[in-house]
Homo-oligomer: A and B are copies of this chain.
Amino acid sequence: MRYCSKCGREVDRKVPAGDTLPRFVCESCGTIHYQNPKMVVGTLPVFEDRILLARRAIAPRHGLWTLPAGFMENNETTGEAALRETREEVCAEVELGMLFSLVNIAHISQVHLFYLARMSSPHFAPGAESLEARLFAEDEIPWDEIAFRSSTLTLRHFLDDRRRQAFSVHLEDLAGNSRH
């Protein structure tokens, strides 16, 4: 950020009075421009015993597989975001289940949330940002070609919980020293 989005003058980087962190501040109109983490919300869609993944048609991680997820929009709920992303990426209508994982990725200021989701029929297709959508049984999951660690963690927790038939919410913090 170099210019004030409200008045167009150049901003400074400084700690505002009464604050503890540096912010972009406009000395001209007085606006303090706060910047906050973004939420990425998605689902783990299940049809019978298989899981639906999408192969990415866009950067980053073009060609790799992911759970359907994307940036939450203003004026929607986390549940609405999860359903919308599932519709957009794999053209599937799902029934949302429990909130299943929350993954902090602090070094890129993101929080990823995944809901379990049930598909009542095997209807799906790649959306505009996907090359391919496919149902995977546990032993077919392409672990070496998963795009994001939050998908890998969420898949592993789901398979573990399913094996034990005991599902709970999983919180994870990812560090910045390996790929997210």
Q: 23 A-B residue contacts at CB 8 Å? A: A1-B5, A2-B5, A2-B7, A3-B5, A5-B5, A5-B33, A8-B8, A21-B73, A36-B74, A37-B39, A37-B72, A37-B73, A37-B74, A37-B76, A39-B39, A75-B106, A75-B109, A78-B111, A79-B104, A79-B171, A79-B173, A99-B169, A169-B169
A35→B78 CA distance, assembly (Å): 15
User: Are A78 and B104 closer than 8 Å at their CB atoms?
Assistant: yes
Report B-chain residues with C-beta under 8 Å of the C-beta of A163: none
Say yes or no: is A71 at the interface (Cβ < 8 Å to chain B). Answer: yes
Q: Is A38 an interface residue (CB 8 A)?
A: yes
Instruction: Please name all residues of chain B whose beta carbon is closer than 8 Å to the beta carbon of A106 when the two chains form the complex.
Output: 75-77, 80
Q: Which residues of B contact A74 (CB under 8 A)?
A: 35-37, 109
Determine whether the beta carbon of B73 is less than 8 Å from that of A102. no
Number of interface residues of A (CB under 8 A): 42
Cβ of A18 to closest chain B Cβ, rounded Å: 7
- Are B75's CB and A104's CB within 8 A? no
Residues from chain B with a CB closer than 8 A to the CB of A102 are 78, 99
Contact B75 A107 (CB under 8 A): yes
Asked if A133 CB lies within 8 Å of chain B CBs, one says no
Judged by a CB distance under 8 angstroms, whether A128 is at the interface is yes
